[in-house]
Structure 1
Amino acid sequence: MIVVTGANGQLGRLVIEELLLRTAAENIVATVRNPETAGELAALGIQLRQADYDQPATLTKAFAGAEKVLLISSSAVGQRVPQHQAVIHAAEEAGVQLLAYTSILHCDRSPLQLAEEHQQTEALLNASSVATVILRNGWYTENYTMSIPVMLEMKQLFGCAAEGRFSTASRHDYATAAATVLTTDNQAGKVYELAGDHSFSLAEFAALLSRQSGTQVSFQNLSETDFTRGLVQAGLPEGFAALLANAESGAAEGWLFDDSKQLQALIGRPTTPAEDTVQAALS
């Protein structure tokens, strides 16, 4: 039995869909904080179980009988480590044979502030009694396409990555990778650096968006401080805005670039071109 945590999130739902292409519905358990909001998942014929990273007792119960668990990293930046520790402990208690974790690209050596909680989580995984597989996911193309309406309105793409390159893939690509790992033997101990086949700078992304939308969008590079301030003015919490700006500054130094093509090899096909994800967003 395969358990997917955070299954009601954007990545979790896609992982479930991919798992259903590879195994029967009765082999899949989706854990969610509130099952009443997961009707679409229940309609797929899989089992729903209530689980909350902040309520360890629910995790132990949710993992009962599980052979494999996918720990999708929490979205609660600043609270991830104790939440992930609770999941790891519950997996140990349940006798889980394989625990997969969605980490960040080049986690072991990344200077990005976003990597810190992932580094701590990977250390906890390494110290646990559960066999693990680490999926170090790169940037999602959707990190930028979700802001396309604002870019088109302002005719500007603001950032602080300078000429840094982003090896992005679609959220669906990363979901496919997770489902593949969960349904393939001999994964224990493996660490995957997952990123798109191709990369772009933010200036190139702006040019791509301009071509596909018919609206001229230009890239304006800011300082990390000014970009953080702009994100806060756009409504993001100050701490999270600072993390995103720090990540872009890290991209300027190459920390969100990877050309190993491990993601392509794992999923058995080329990763989704940024052009396709942009077009889907425009549609």
Structure 2
Amino acid sequence: MNAPTTIAQTDRHRPGRVRQGRRVADRLLRVSCTVATAVGGLVLGSILIMLIIRGIQGFTPALFTHPTPGPGSEGGGIANAILGSLVLTGIGITIATPVGVMAGTYLAEYGRGSKLAALIRFLNDILLSAPSILIGLFVYTLMVRPMGTYSGWAGGVALAIIAVPVIVRTTEDMMSLVPSTLREAGAALGAPPSTVIVSVTWRAASAGIVTGIILALARIAGETAPLLFTALNNNSWFSPDLMGGVANLPVMIYQFALSPYPNWQGLAWAGALLITATILVLSIIARLVIKPHTSR
């Protein structure tokens, strides 16, 4: 009685037919991935080629030694904007790194399954997807209006708020990938949890944590919207107390690219190429420095 059913089932699930369907699906998926990669590479390549061609024309010694010129002026450089971007990015990443690493460590080591950790993850996801212009408006209300002026401190805080969720998420993910046996080995030797985290978990996840910091640095290096409401811009050197407008590359590129002056447009292309090259160099250096530690 069961013979016809068994034969039908065997005929329906022949290995040859299953393999043929999988081959077709595999080929379609490979073709789709190849086409998508080619289109993405073509678009990215065209942007980079245009950026290199237009930006390299503005690379002169004056670019790194002279401040930005006035409207309609010839010559000049972006030295003040470069220095301002370094200062703002440095303030932002200096504030964000300890906060992000500590928060990620708490979520991965102490807050597993707790309601507080779930709340922190929820707020972190909101910050991670929040438009940067809203963060700029928030810092404007929090710092710029009470102080009565734009400042580099407000710009640094805005960039820090953008960088923190990236570092938190990466730190938690990397520390969660560390095998629990390493923690158990440290605890078996009598080390307190803090020592295990610092000497074992952080060391094992150091490559991923540093990568997260670099990703956060790359994220805030080109942010324009929050700086429009906090640090604004300045065509001259900023004051040592960072009060008033502080020149920076993102806002300078935004303003100069929209201007009708060819000299300003050329400086905008050069600044965009400089930011791109800097992030690329930082990523390469980080990989070269981290690779010997991860191979041990």
TM-score by length of 2: 0.24
Q: Indicate the structure with greater strand content.
A: 1
TM-score if structure 1 supplies the norm length?
0.25
**Structure 1 or 2: more helix by fraction:** 2
- RCO higher in structure (CA 8 A, sep ≥6): 2
Query: Rg larger in 1 or in 2?
Result: 2
